């Protein structure tokens, strides 16, 4: 199990429930997963040779990087080296590195924005010059970060803003490559999110939702997911068709994949990402609530080569959402005020921080305060509440 964060504990516990011995690796000494594992190694999950050595020593039968972007290529590398169940390493690497993903999309005839990869030490003035080949707005971002970290949107060729964007992206770049690409104008009000699950090369589980974003903080980082997505039948068909075609083009065999897509002009679906792992913000748990299918268990079983679990799911008559409470300023968390109007629809609360803890302004998924799970009586009720969610849920920050 590559990673022992709070969002990964559920996978460790599930593996133990299924009777598997669990070996967890994480570079953080205070990770909670170590207390649930049978064996723990304080090692970085991005160190592929260290992970391979440990896997050999422990004689493992499966490798899982549950809900972890950075560790997904490591899991594929180790599993491929040991002839264990995995998707092709080349496919996982393509999905995990943004400029490789953009190149794959272009080479295989998928709609994609024009983009330019550059070294992270690029002179901002040179990047500004390169932008003349693109239409504004443009997006500057690291190619190997997750959780919307390090992203800037630039509306015009302003030297100071380009300098700030490069510095921001550098902070979150591990592989030394940044990407500048044209911004995709959406004709649908939200980014399409959620997860799909593949078995035998075919998408069997369609957990497509749409992302909620806090526009007051730039609108880049998801603050929840709502189901149903709100897509029309025609839009949904086009999105599904593109996802299955991408799965085919990469030779993907099994597993859960995190979707981020935009419906552009003319109803054309564009991929932002197809993450080679289960979604963050407890998306698999949310989708399990909707479908009645335990996706965490399906992830563990597939990693062990057991594909017998039926994960078939197309849609459900449900109106559910998650919301990520977050701080708009740095400070000390003093509690969460939830309007009494919302409480009847709140069925699960998961908090990541305690009262009195220092918190930071929300600019990446790693700075979430927790997750609220909501179930409504109708889609109209959902849309009304989620349209006002920033007023119904208020963190107290001092």
The predicted-structure confidence for 261-276, as pLDDT tens digits, reads as follows: 999 999 999 999 999 9
Alpha-carbon dihedral angle through residues 271, 258, 201, 295, given to the nearest 10 degrees: -160
pLDDT of residue 147: 67
For 84, the 3-state DSSP assignment is coil
Assign 3-state DSSP to the chain and report helix, strand, coil percentages, each to 5.
35, 25, 40
Name the β-bridge partners of 373. 322, 348
All domains in the chain, ordered by first residue: 9-86 (3.40.50.20), 114-182 (3.30.1490.20), 184-317 (3.30.470.20), 319-398 (3.30.470.20)
| Side-chain-facing half-sphere of 265: CA atoms under 13 Å | 5
- Going residue by residue through the chain, which has 398 residues, state the pLDDT in tens, using 9 for 90 and above: 999 998 899 999 999 999 999 999 999 999 999 999 999 999 999 999 999 999 999 999 999 999 998 999 999 999 999 999 999 999 999 999 999 999 999 999 999 999 999 999 999 999 999 999 999 999 999 999 876 789 999 999 999 999 999 999 999 998 999 999 999 999 999 999 999 999 999 999 999 999 998 887 777 788 999 999 999 999 999 999 999 999 999 999 999 999 999 999 999 999 999 999 999 889 999 999 999 999 999 999 999 999 999 999 999 999 999 999 999 999 999 999 999 999 999 999 999 999 999 999 998 788 999 999 999 999 999 999 999 999 999 999 99
The whole-number pLDDT of residue 242 equals 98
pLDDT confidence of residue 146: 74
**How far is residue 318's CA from residue 394's CA, in Å, rounded to a whole number?**
26
pLDDT of residue 373: 99
Other Cβ atoms within 10 Å of 223 Cβ, number? 23
* Dist. CA 197–CA 8, nearest whole Å: 18
Question: What separation in angstroms does the CA of 360 have from each of 30, 211, 328, 367?
Answer: 19, 22, 8, 7
Residue 195 contacts by C-beta under 8 Å, 6 or more apart in sequence?
A: 205, 207, 256, 257, 258, 259, 278, 279, 283, 284, 287, 295
pLDDT on residue 366: 83
Q: What is the pLDDT of residue 221?
A: 81
Q: What is the DSSP letter of 188?
A: S
């Amino acid at each position: 199990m590559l990673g022992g964060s709070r969002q990964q504990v559920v996978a460790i516990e599930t593996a133990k429930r299924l009777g598997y011995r669990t070996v967890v690796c994480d570079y953080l000494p205070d990770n909670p997963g170590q207390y649930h594992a049978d064996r723990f190694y304080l090692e970085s999950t991005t160190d592929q040779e260290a992970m391979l050595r440990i896997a050999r020593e422990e004689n493992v039968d499966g490798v899982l990087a549950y809900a972890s972007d950075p560790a997904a290529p490591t899991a594929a590398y180790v599993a491929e080296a040991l002839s264990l169940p995995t998707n092709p390493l080349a496919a996982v690497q393509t999905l995990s590195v943004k400029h490789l993903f953009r190149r794959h999309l272009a080479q295989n005839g998928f709609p994609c924005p024009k983009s330019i990869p550059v070294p992270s030490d690029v002179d901002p003035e040179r990047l500004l010059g390169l932008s003349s080949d693109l239409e504004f707005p443009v997006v500057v971002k690291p190619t190997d970060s997750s959780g919307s970290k390090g992203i800037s949107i630039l509306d015009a060729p302003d030297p100071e803003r380009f300098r700030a964007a490069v510095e921001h992206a550098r902070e979150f770049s591990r592989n030394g490559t940044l990407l500048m690409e044209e911004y995709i104008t959406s004709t649908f009000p939200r980014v399409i999110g959620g997860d799909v699950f593949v078995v035998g090369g075919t998408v069997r589980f369609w957990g497509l939702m749409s992302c909620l974003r806090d526009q007051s903080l730039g609108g880049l980082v998801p603050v929840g997911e709502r189901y149903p997505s709100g897509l029309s039948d025609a839009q949904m068909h086009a999105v599904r068709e593109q996802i299955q075609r991408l799965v085919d083009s990469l030779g993907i065999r099994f597993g859960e994949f995190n979707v981020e897509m935009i419906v552009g002009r003319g109803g054309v679906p564009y991929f932002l990402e197809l993450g080679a792992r289960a979604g963050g913000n407890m998306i698999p748990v949310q989708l399990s609530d909707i479908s009645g299918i335990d996706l965490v268990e399906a992830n563990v079983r597939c990693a062990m080569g057991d594909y017998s679990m039926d994960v078939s799911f197309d849609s459900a008559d449900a109106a559910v959402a998650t919301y990520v409470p977050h701080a708009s300023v740095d400070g000390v968390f003093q509690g969460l005020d939830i309007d009494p109007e919302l409480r009847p629809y709140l069925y699960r609360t998961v908090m990541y921080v305690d009262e009195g803890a220092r918190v930071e302004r929300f600019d990446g998924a790693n700075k979430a305060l927790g997750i609220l799970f909501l179930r409504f009586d109708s889609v109209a009720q959902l849309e009304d509440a989620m349209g006002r969610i920033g007023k119904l849920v208020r963190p107290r920050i001092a």
